[in-house]
Structure 1
Amino acid sequence: MKRTHVIAAFTATVVAAAGLAGCSAGGGEGSDGPVTITIMETKQTNIDAIGKEIPGFEAEMKKQGKDIKVELIADILTDEQFKTKMTQQLIAGQAPDVLDIGENMAIAWSSAGYLEPLDDHLEEWDGWDHYYPAVKEAMTRQDGSIYSLPSGAGVLNLFYRQDILTELGVDTSQPETWDDLIARLVEVKEKTGGTPIVIPAGTAWGGGTWGEGFQPLLGGTDTEYYDPETDTWDLESPGWRAVFDLYADLVSEGLLPVADLQNPNPWEPTKYEKFPAGEIQVAAQGTWGWKFDWGPEGATPIEGLTEKVSTWQWPGLRDGDEPYGWSSTGGGYAISADSEHKEAAFEFIKYLSSGKPLAEQLVASGAASARDDLDDVAPYSEEPQLLQAGEDLADSVYVVTGDGADQIAQAVATATEMILSGQADGEQAYEAFVKDATELLGPTLVKE
């Protein structure tokens, strides 16, 4: 069919809490007594990585004559559970001093006044000079301030099973257009009887439907959907319809694993089972996939990963569009506006964001460096896929957005769910999205 629009043992205190600890204990910022700051992590990989760095930080502060202790709050939660719990704590003024949060949370919570602006801290830190310009731009919110410092970065691409496609006799060169890729996927389906590609879609995937699927597709073909000058979303920008049409085409051709995408944890049957087994041959994925998903210590390791798996850039979606990678700033460290120890909190953020401590975290999480001075720092220097992703950041696409991202994510998830369930084609899903997004955003966030 021709398409024309197509983030070990340790000495820090770990609180395996059902609830969050409040703001940090200890003397005030200017006191001579010890200061204790808190940080919360909700994923075991991050709990282990941050816990490993705390003793080194405390020792470094002691060398500098500063008595700063760190209490790590370990609470295994999904992203949605964390967002709900942390929102409640921020409203009550009881959040941890240091927050490890995603971009959408940084956007919403900075706008609500829950996060401390980092500009003055960054101006006094020479490490800020080493962050890539595109990353600095991506972290700048609409009021011109920066509220979170990226703990890593990456590029979202299409990961593919080079071994399986080669065995099937399917072309593995970079597809220039989605027409080209869909033709190959149809060929795979005809030879295997399976559904060959997974892109996050529907409501079960939560914010990932927007951040890991729809937005990379949209931003690569249409950079005008958000206007930073007026802080509004242009719901009539043509890329929206093109992406909904793509999802509809993939479903109508039987190429997306619809039943799996409607599973309560859709990443499990798709990325954790069928892609490692070679039953899904193409997966929308970020740099972290090399470690967190399919590496030797990942969720479902693929033996011989780098020989079996490779990456494509996203193909062009509309006539004239070029293949591209989509930049991702991943998680970021922020400081609660109600923290009583902001200087100490930023000292910890600086430590985590520099040299070997940063290199170890990036390798643990499978993220690329957002800085230009880490390529020779072990163990990061020993990871060719991450080094390549760092190089790719310079040429990748990224569209800075602002208030309303959570509402857009909700509307996109609902509309793509309609496609999955057979209730809508691309046009109908787009129309439902516009109606839903307009109501969720309100008149001040929708471009007239």
Structure 2
Amino acid sequence: MKRKYVIAAFTATVVTAAGLTGCSAGESTGGDGTDGPVTITILESKQTNIDAISKEIPGFEAAMKEQGKDITVELIPDLLTDEQLKTKLTQQLIAGQAPDVLDIGENMAIAWSSAGYLAPLDEYLEDWDGWSHYYPAVKEAMTRQDGQIYSLPSGAGVLNLFYRKDILEQVGVDTSQPETWDDLIGRLEQVKEATGDTPIVIPAGTAWGGGTWGEGFQPLLGGTDTGYYDSETATWDLESPGWLAVFELYADLVEKGLMPVQDLQNPNPWEPTKYVKFPEGDIQVAAQGTWGWKFDWGPDGATPIEGLTEKVSTWQWPGLRDGDEPYGWSSTGGGYAISEDSEHKEAAFEFIKYLSSGKPLAEQLVASGAASARDDLDDVAPYSGEPQLLQAGEDLSNSVFVVTGDGADQISQAVATATELILSGSADGQQAYEAFVKDATELLGPSLVKE
């Protein structure tokens, strides 16, 4: 078993029995692995996931019975925010009482695998023919610092720039793929002149929280500079040139009046930007992931756009520096992991395999608006009937992703604070970068900063 240490943010946490109800990795009706009757647990904190997993459990249990395995799945529904989920599961992992199967985000997987709370999946993956169908970029993204894999993506996506094709055509602005940011900024200035709008939103500032890093800054940085994290030394290179280039881009967009600064400084900045102005056509370009087709602007989304696929299309991220090519940014989203303290790891992986294959996977992807991380799902209904997701899956096969490790949360916080300085007019790009380096250095500590 890997040596465990308590994640620093929670070293002072007092774990009480009341905080651990309903989740016990060791609970079963007997047996070990997949021998004899076994009960495994999974916690889901979002209603979409609760509904999707509930639908798949009977089929899994029946499939196991056909194989002579008596495995029961107990779904623990608990509607929580991401931060609440992180806190609750951290407490349970420390106490050794987490669910067998964990449905978690990438940052949680990074932190918890380093802490020894997650079981390595490599041995199981080597014996599973489904693993050969995952895109190479996805396999790389799921590989942690020690060279092992601790979670299997429940879906994937590509972060791109979504744009209002109908509005740009109305005002006579080119809708072809912009090759560089200079090209795109020139078009945005045309839109602003024609409409008076602030035409683009990219997550920025502290109000957007982790999205400022994960949905805005990091995609821009990763397409410009893949050396900002050194996986060999597990350190962040704060002097890598891409940081300054991205801060200067943010400053340029704000200085030219192209970003909705006031909206970005308000609480829940995604609401006035992505849920009001983009659907109304008053913001014409938005950084967004594959899930936008369903959860934001689809028929059942937060703010449906009638005739969505006729009015909205996507660009890849343009190159930021001379020689940079347009690209898509991979997003692995959530992933299934197994608690290191689970007494039924084999049964838990059987469930993960089932959820990650064929029709069960196709149904989950359509429910969540995610693309397949596998190359063999395009003909599987209902996924096969989702052209936007199929296109995202095609983009995913050659998109960009930079694997990082410990310190991602601290980097996220420092980026949010530094871009807030740009939004408030307190700093230009160079000053924001300098503030970022100071803040990130203090937050990361010397062991995580490259010398």
TM-score bin, normalised by smaller chain:
over 0.9
Q: Name the SS of the counterpart of 2:306 in structure 1.
A: coil
Match in the other structure for 2:54: 51
* SS class of match (2:220): helix
Find the partner of 2:153 among 150, 155, 163: 150
Q: 1:243 to 1:49 in 2, by over 3 A?
A: same
**Paired residue secondary structure (1:174):** coil
2:3 is matched with: none
Residue 268 (structure 1) aligned with residue 271 (structure 2): yes
Which secondary structure state, in structure 2, belongs to the residue aligned with residue 292 of structure 1? helix
Offset of residue 333 of structure 1: 0.5
Which residue does the alignment assign to 1:285? Answer: 288
- AA of the residue aligned to 2:287: A
Q: Where in structure 1 do 4 or more consecutive aligned residues deviate above 4 Å?
A: 17-20, 30-33
Contact kept in structure 2, 1:132 and 1:372, CA below 8 Å: yes
- Cα distance per residue 1:102-137 (max 9 Å; x no partner): 111111110011111101111111111111122111
The code of the aligned residue for 2:22 comes to A
SS in 2 for 1:392: helix
- State how far apart, in whole Å, the 2-side matches of 1:30 and 1:254 are: 60
On the 8 A contact 1:132/1:370 being kept in 2, the answer is yes
Letter in 2 for 1:236: E
Cross-structure match for 1:300: 303
Deviation, structure 1 residue 18:
8.9
CA RMSD of aligned residues (A): 1.6
Higher mean C-alpha deviation, range 69-78 or range 238-247? 69-78
1-structure distance, mates of 2:34, 2:422: 59
| Aligned counterparts, 1:140-179, within 5 A | 140-179=143-182
User: For 1:223 and 1:426, how far apart are their aligned partners in 2?
Assistant: 20
Question: Residue 77 of structure 1: CA displacement?
Answer: 2.2
Corresponding pairs, count: 432
Determine the C-alpha separation between the residues in 2 that align with 1:126 and 1:30: 20
Query: Residues 287 and 368 of structure 1 are in contact (CA less than 8 Å); yes or no, is this contact kept in structure 2?
Result: yes
Equivalent position of 2:107 in the other structure: 104
Counterpart of 2:98 in 1: which secondary structure?
Answer: coil
Q: How does 1:108-119 map to 2 (within 5 A)?
A: 108-119=111-122
1:57-76 equivalence runs, <5 A: 57-76=60-79
Asked if structure 2 preserves the Cα contact closer than 8 Å seen for 1:28 and 1:340, the reply is: no
Q: 1:263 to 1:58 in 2, by over 3 A?
A: farther
Q: CA deviation at 1:31?
A: 8.3
TM-score (norm 2): 0.92
Aligned partners of 2:284 and 2:262: how far apart in 1?
17
Cα offset, 1:266, TM superposition? 1.7
* Alpha-carbon distance in structure 2 between the residues aligned to 1:169 and 1:255: 18
2:88 paired residue among 60, 85, 88: 85
Deviation at 1:326, TM superposition (A): 0.9
Unaligned segments of structure 1, at least 5 residues:
1-16
Alignment correspondent of 2:363: 360
Shift of 1:312: 0.5
Per the alignment, residue 42 of structure 1 pairs with 45
1:324-403 aligned at under 5 Å gives the runs: 324-403=327-406
Task: Give the aligned partner of residue 237 of structure 1.
Answer: 240
Name the residue aligned to 1:9. none
- The 8 Å contact of residues 41 and 73 in structure 1, kept in 2 or not, is answered as yes
- Whether 2:219 is the aligned partner of 1:219: answer no
1:22 aligns with 2:26: no
Q: Which amino acid aligns with 1:149?
A: L
Query: Which residue matches 2:441?
Result: 438
Match of residue 7 from structure 1: none
Q: Give the 3-state SS of the residue equivalent to 2:215 in structure 1.
A: helix
**Cα gap change, 1:154 to 1:32, in 2 (>3 Å):** closer
TM-score by length of 1: 0.93
Shift of the alpha carbon at 1:250? 1.2
SS of alignment partner, residue 363 of structure 2: helix
- For the Cα contact (< 8 Å) 2:20–2:92, is it kept in 1? no
Secondary structure of the equivalent of 2:73?
strand
Q: CA deviation at 1:40?
A: 1.6
Structure 2 spans left out of the alignment, 5+ residues: 1-17
Per-residue Cα deviation, 1:217-272 (whole angstroms, up to 9, x for no partner) = 00001111111111111100110001011111111122112222223222222112
Task: Look up the match of 2:420.
Answer: 417
Query: What secondary structure sits across from 1:347 in the alignment?
Result: helix
Counterpart CA distance in 2 for 1:113 and 1:266 is 36
Instruction: Judge conservation of contact 2:159–2:215 (CA < 8 Å) in 1.
Output: yes
